[in-house]
Amino acid sequence: MGRFNGKPLMLRFTPIIVSTGTSLVGKYYINISLFNSKSKVRFSDWLESDDYVLINQEHTKAIKSCRGIKEENKILPQSRSRSIKDFKIR
């Protein structure tokens, strides 16, 4: 069916992150095809799912535990990786 120049998402048992821009409102379908990830060649037509996920509206929700935390300025101890400076010789 020809080469595929985009970045395909492989089926996995982990969540797939989809960037939708500034809003999630819309209809979301799943399209699949047979694809060779090494040669980047698609071997079938695209099959679109009959069902879709519809998001009519969205709301902003403040999460109390994160309000006011700017981790890029002050990294929380549980978020940063260990350093040799963390070990003290007594």
Q: Report pLDDT digits (tens) over 5-62.
A: 666 667 666 666 777 778 889 888 888 888 887 787 888 888 888 999 999 998 887 7
Predicted pLDDT at 51: 92
Q: For residue 76, tell me if it sits in a domain.
A: no
Q: Residue 76 pLDDT more than 90?
A: no
Q: What pLDDT digit, counting tens, does each position of 65-74 carry?
A: 665 566 566 6
In a domain, 50, yes or no: yes
**Is the CB of residue 42 less than 8 Å from the CB of residue 33?**
yes
Q: For residue 53, tell me if it sits in a domain.
A: yes
- Rounded CA separation 30/56 (Å): 18
Question: What local confidence, expressed as pLDDT, does residue 40 receive?
Answer: 77
Number of domains the chain contains: 1
Closest CA to 30 of 11, 57, 14, 55: 11
Among the listed residues 48, 12, 13, 54, the one whose alpha carbon sits nearest the alpha carbon of residue 30: 48
State both tokens at 14: 């982990």
- Those residues with Cβ within 8 angstroms of residue 10's Cβ, 6 or more apart along the chain or in another chain: 37
Higher pLDDT, 36 or 84: 36
Domain boundaries, position 32: 1-15+23-58
CB 63 within 8 A of CB 89: no
* Residues 26/55, Cβ–Cβ less than 8 Å: yes
